[in-house]
Structure 1
């Protein structure tokens, strides 16, 4: 009888501990992303991409634009849409908010390598491996630590270079 009382007392504790292992009780980290690799993305797309000098950066130029091309020291003005390989858009310009403007040296390496391939008015799709983007650590908003870019995120950018 003494053991039955101990079992009755410990049974709720056992149930609580057993339920702690269930993932449904805890939110999933928003910095964990379900995406496909760039190779899988390329294989599933009908576009024929080129690789830039064995860098891992793939691109497709739909309009080369003007003959003059920007260099790293230029400030570029561009409309763009940035998405993960699963199609989730994480950033984009709109006609309402206008094109973005930034120093080419201040953006990710994939942009630094890819944007100079086109001139003013040019359009390019860049497939950027995580090593040329934000790397193997998640990018979090410094104000609230909310995830912006998951670690190891390969990216797809559609860019129209307006000016530089």
Structure 2
């Protein structure tokens, strides 16, 4: 089947087949959107057995799967699903040749996740078309021909997937780089760290008693006068980094020399925060965790971070 099944199919236990179905009349009243060769799924009937129990699925086996087919067999009564949302769903995976159940996610009690992205729209436009505009609670049947490389044989049966959308949530907006006016407002409100330089130019920092800003803060302490830095450049810089709890975790000042690195190869908070500055600039960066190493980091400090950075120079390309 299409690549989208790699998104949808977890490692599940094999189970025995289910029985029973809704009546054809119920099917006609409750069915919703469809896409592709949906006539393949006309005989598919689903009886919802509740939020934690796999539904009963019945159809005229074997299905003649000649193309991708998607159909909302029963329509839910929840909110309308929108593009870009994160879906949680349960699924039942059936042998389309004999109707037996191969796998399901209900028994493990672990819903699966799928985001309605442009990538999904490109990989499987039929599934995307049916999901967007359908309601939460819908039971959606999906099938497509097996993709078997030429000259190979497979014992894998044709497959029918029935998924139930149990929730749809709009993800939070990604962090943005604050404007200089927005940074000034945060500073005036006392919500930004204060950086102090000693006689040798080594920084120390004092943190306010509030949560870190949700967006990227670039507070220019001193404007640069050299060449402008772009995301494609490699730069030399002096810096010190702290967690939002005030713990210092790295400092080039202690090593006694600037560090060189390509802006395309560092955390997004550095890439976006330093590009557009000029050589010689001195700045405070306050970086949300999603633009740093994450809330549960394994390769760096977790949570929001603060950096004092001096852009020494743009390193000439070799």
TM-score by length of structure 2 reads 0.32
Pair 1:114-2:273 in alignment: yes
Q: Which residue of 1 aligns with 2:286?
A: 127
Unpaired segments ≥5 residues, structure 2: 1-185, 196-213
| Partners of 1:138 and 1:45 in 2: CA distance | 22
Q: Is the contact between residue 57 and residue 129 of structure 1 (CA under 8 Å) also seen in structure 2?
A: yes
Alpha carbons 2:230, 2:276 under 8 Å: kept: no
Distance 1:121 1:95 in 2: 20
Task: Give the direction of change, closer, same or farther, for the CA distance of 1:130–1:65 in structure 2 (3 Å limit).
Answer: same
Structure whose alpha-carbon radius of gyration is higher: 2
1:158: which partner in 2?
A: 308
What SS does structure 1 have at the residue aligned with 2:221? strand
Q: For residues 46 and 122 of structure 1, do their structure 2 counterparts lie closer, same or farther at Cα, with a shift above 3 Å needed?
A: closer
CA distance in 1, matches of 2:258, 2:271: 17
Cα distance 1:134–1:66, how it changes in 2: closer, same or farther (>3 A)? Answer: same
**Per-residue deviation at 1:156?**
0.3
User: Structure 1: any 5+ residue segments left out of the alignment?
Assistant: 1-38, 48-54, 141-147
The answer on 1:62 being equivalent to 2:221 is yes
1:90: which partner in 2?
A: 249
Asked whether the equivalents of residues 118 and 124 of structure 1 are also in contact (C-alpha less than 8 Å), the reply is no
Q: Once superposed, which parts of structure 1, at least 4 consecutive aligned residues long, lie more than 4 Å away?
A: 44-47
Report the CA distance shift for 1:71/1:45 in structure 2 as closer, same or farther (over 3 A). closer
Please report the TM-score for the alignment, with normalisation by the length of structure 1.
0.59
Question: C-alpha separation between the residues in 2 aligned to 1:157 and 1:100?
Answer: 14
Please report how far the alpha carbon of residue 64 of structure 1 lies from its aligned counterpart in structure 2 after TM superposition: 1.4
1:26 match: none
Give the CA deviation at 1:95.
Answer: 6.1
Displacement of 1:138: 1.8
* 1:19 alignment partner in structure 2: none
Work out which structure has the larger RCO, using CA pairs closer than 8 Å and 6 or more positions apart in sequence. 1
Rounded to whole Å, the distance in 2 between the matches of 1:127 and 1:139 is: 20
Partners of 1:116 and 1:94 in 2: CA distance: 22
Query: Is 2:43 the partner of 1:43?
Result: no
Change (3 A) 1:43 1:162: same
Does the aligned pair in 2 maintain the 1:83–1:91 contact within 8 Å?
A: yes
| Residue 267 of structure 2 corresponds to residue 103 of structure 1 | no
